[in-house]
Amino acid sequence: MNKTALLFAGQGAQVVGMGRDMAEASSSARQWFEQADQALGCDLSRICFQGPEADLTRTEYAQPGIYLVGWVAFQLLKERLPGLDFHATAGLSLGEFTALAAAGVFSFEDGIRVVRQRGRFMQEACEAQSGGMAAIIGLDEESTRAVCELTGATLANLNCPGQIVISGPASVMEKACEAARSAGAKKAMPLKVAGAYHSPLMAPAQPSLKAALARVSFSAPIVPTLSNVTAMPHDPTQVSSRLVEQVTAPVRWEACMRWMLQNGYTRFIELGPGKALSGFMKRIDDKVQMLNVSDMASLETTVQALSASPNP
CA–centroid distance for 36 within its chain: 18
Cα–Cα distances (Å) from 269 to 58, 66, 147, in that order, read 27, 16, 34
Contacts of 106 (CB under 8 A, 6+ apart): 100, 114, 216, 217, 218, 219
Closest alpha carbon to 96 in 196, 231, 258 = 231
- CA-to-CA distance for 219 and 115, rounded, in angstroms? 18
- CA-to-CA distance for 312 and 298, rounded, in angstroms? 18
Kindly name the residue from 26, 45, 93, 294 that is annotated as catalytic.
Answer: 93
Omega before 161 cis (within 30°)? no
198 is catalytic: yes
Rounded to 5 degrees, φ, ψ at 158 are -100, 85
Beta bridge partners of 293: 271
Half-sphere exposure of 132 (CA within 13 A, CB side): 15
Helix (H, G, I), strand (E, B) or coil at 130: coil
Relative to beta strand 163-169, strand 131-137 is: antiparallel
143 is catalytic: no
Kindly name the residue from 167, 198, 227, 294 that is annotated as catalytic.
Answer: 198
> What single-letter amino acid sits at 35?
Q
Closest alpha carbon to 161 in 46, 254, 286 = 254
- Please report, in angstroms and rounded to a whole number, the separation of the first and last CA atoms in the chain: 10
Cα–Cα distances (Å) from 21 to 26, 37, 48, 167, 292, in that order, read 8, 17, 11, 35, 16
- CA-to-CA distance for 163 and 137, rounded, in angstroms? 5
Annotated catalytic residues are: 93, 198
